[in-house]
Copies of this chain bind each other. A is one copy, B any other.
Amino acid sequence: MARLAGVSTATVSRAISTPSVVSEATREAVFDAVRRTGYQINMTARNLRRRRTGAIVVMVPDLGNPFFSRILAGIEHVAAPAGFSVLIVDTKQPHAEEGQLFTYLHNTRADGLISLDGSLPRALLERLDGSNGLPPIVFACEWMAGGLFSKVVIDNAAGAAMAVRHLHRLGHRRIGHVRGPQGNVLTSARLKGTRAALKELGLRIVPEWFFDGDFSLQSGAEAARAWLALQERPTAVFCASDQMACGFISELSMEGYSVPRDVSVVGFDDIDIARRFIPSLTTIHQPRNDIGAEAAKLLIERIGNGKAAAPAVEEVLPVELVARESSGPVVPH
């Protein structure tokens, strides 16, 4: 390669990575040789020397969930032009136990980490911190309590409150809620927002109207069965995810109930299908693409800073209520 261009390897390297320091003529000669041979730089060698990996890892709780795909697209969109590859790890896969995850997190594998999973084992992060192999981490959507890490999130409690107030405005006084999975930060934030809004509006808080769920379609359907089994039913239900809302409505529909006639439903996320579901879903819109993009931007900035250990930043993106057909005025029967 260097021989072909008639210069030393050092000059070739300079021509490629710092073109401004080599003379016009040599630069041309090198580029010419590059074109002729179809030479491609060896990233592994470059990264070894530069002591970086050129990759960022994204931890996704469940790749199968369409909620995440747009966030990934947002991340990719920012990371690729900045020269970072995006490595994806599904934290809920069976092989992804602590040991495995650990090797991913370690800085010999990636320059930085975006986690969409707020329930990474605490021990893991402490181990990382201890071995000072901790790469910069940014949480997105979900996060870990403690304020140690930067995060890009939405105001979940406010979103939940918006949903409840919307239902109240429509005349609903008996409002239920389908929770997310136990122990999840989003679950508790949305639950808290829901309770706060109910209280503020002077509405009843009835334990039987709070259904278990885990964000999935299936769990929404199960919540619907629980709703059907109630003596006194809420006239409106706020689901902590659109998927659950779809499952809820779907199951009711199979039993001959109709939304919003028999019960109003509000979801959370505004996934693509929400506006095309039947009835179209009233929901809390999250800027999924922006969440990914912001998280990537933040992370890359942090990687650039070197070991500056900047204080944790918290970015809160706006949510908004999108009123569609799944919620309507309360119907006397």
Chain A contacts to B: CB under 8 angstroms: 37-38, 40-45, 47-48, 53, 55, 62-66, 68-70, 72-73, 76-77, 80-81, 85-90, 93, 95-96, 100, 103-104, 106, 108-109, 127, 130-131, 133, 217, 221, 246-247, 249-250, 253, 272-273, 276-278, 280
With CB as the reference atom, state the residue of chain B lying closest to A100.
B80
Shortest distance between the CB of A257 and any CB in chain B (Å): 11
Partner of A93, one of B80, B133, B278: B80
Q: How many angstroms from the CA of A93 to the CA of B81 in the assembled complex?
A: 11
Contact between B253 and A108, CB atoms less than 8 A apart? no
Considering the complex, give the chain B residue whose CB is closest to the CB of A276. Answer: B250
A53 in contact with B44 given A80-B96, A86-B87, A247-B276 (CB within 8 Å): yes
How distant is the Cα of A277 from the Cα of B278 in the complex, in angstroms?
Answer: 7
Instruction: Please measure, in the bound complex, the distance between the C-alpha atom of A328 and the C-alpha atom of B64, giving whole angstroms.
Output: 30
The answer, among B48, B72, B100, B273, for a CB contact under 8 Å with A44, is: B48
Report yes or no: A250 in contact with B221, Cβ–Cβ below 8 A.
no
Say which residue of B45, B55, B88, B250 sits within 8 Å of A48 (CB atoms).
Answer: B45
* A127 and B276 form a contact (CB under 8 A): no
9 further A-B pairs in the complex, CB-CB below 8 A; given A55-B87, A273-B273: A37-B131, A38-B131, A48-B48, A64-B272, A66-B69, A77-B95, A80-B95, A80-B100, A250-B278
Contact B43 A53 (CB under 8 A): yes
Find out whether the CB atom of A72 lies under 8 angstroms from the CB atom of B88. Answer: yes
**What separation, in Å, do the CA atoms of A53 and B217 have in the docked complex?**
38
State A221–B275 Cα separation when bound (angstroms). 11
